[in-house]
Amino acid sequence: MRKASVAFLLCLVGVAWTPAGAQTAAPPVQSSAAVAPATAATRPLPRVRLVATGGTISNRRGGRLTAEDLVASVPGLGDVAALQAEQFANVGSSQLTLSQWLGIAQRLNTLFREDPDLAGIVVTSGTDTLEELAYFLHLTVRDRRPVVVTGSMRNPSQVGYEGPANLLASVRVAADARAAGRGVLVVLNDEINGARDVTKTDALRLLTFAARSFGALGVVDADRVVFRRTAEGRHTASSEFDVSQIAALPRVDVFLVYQGAPGDLLKAAVDLGARGIVLATAGAGAISGTQGEGLAYAREKGVPVVSTTRAGSGRIAPSRSGAPATSSVGPGPAERPLPPRIAAGDLSAVKARVLLMLALTKTSDATDLQRMFDEY
The CA distance from 314 to 206, in Å, is 25
pLDDT > 90: percent of the chain: 82
pLDDT > 70: percent of the chain: 84
More confident residue, 216 or 20: 216
Q: Is 276 exposed, middle or buried (0-12, 13-18, 19+ CB in 10 A)?
A: buried
Domain ranges of the chain: 47-238, 250-319+337-375
Q: What is the pLDDT of residues 93-104, one digit of tens each?
A: 999 999 999 999
The CA distance from 132 to 127, in Å, is 10
Is residue 3 predicted with pLDDT exceeding 60?
no
SS3 371: helix
According to the model, what pLDDT value does residue 17 have?
42
Q: What is the pLDDT of residues 58-109, one digit of tens each?
A: 999 999 999 999 999 999 999 999 999 999 999 999 999 999 999 999 999 9
- Identify the CA nearest to 64 among candidates 134, 136, 137, 163: 163
Architecture of domain 250-319+337-375: 3-Layer(aba) Sandwich (3.40)
Is residue 260 predicted with pLDDT exceeding 50?
yes
Is residue 305 predicted with pLDDT exceeding 90?
yes
Q: Select which of 56, 127, 150, 308 is catalytic.
A: 56
Three-state SS string across 136-153, please? HHHHHCCCCCCEEEECCC
The CA distance from 239 to 231, in Å, is 13
According to the model, what pLDDT value does residue 319 have?
80
Contact assessment for residue 338 and residue 223, using Cβ atoms and an 8 Å cutoff? no
Residue 56 is among the residues annotated as catalytic for this protein: yes
Q: What is the pLDDT of residues 143-198, one digit of tens each?
A: 999 999 999 999 999 999 999 999 999 999 999 999 999 999 999 999 999 999 99
**Domain spanning 47-238: CATH 3.40.50.1170:** yes
Is residue 5 predicted with pLDDT exceeding 80?
no
Is residue 11 predicted with pLDDT exceeding 70?
no
pTM above 0.75, yes or no: yes
β pairing state of 305-309 and 185-188:
unpaired
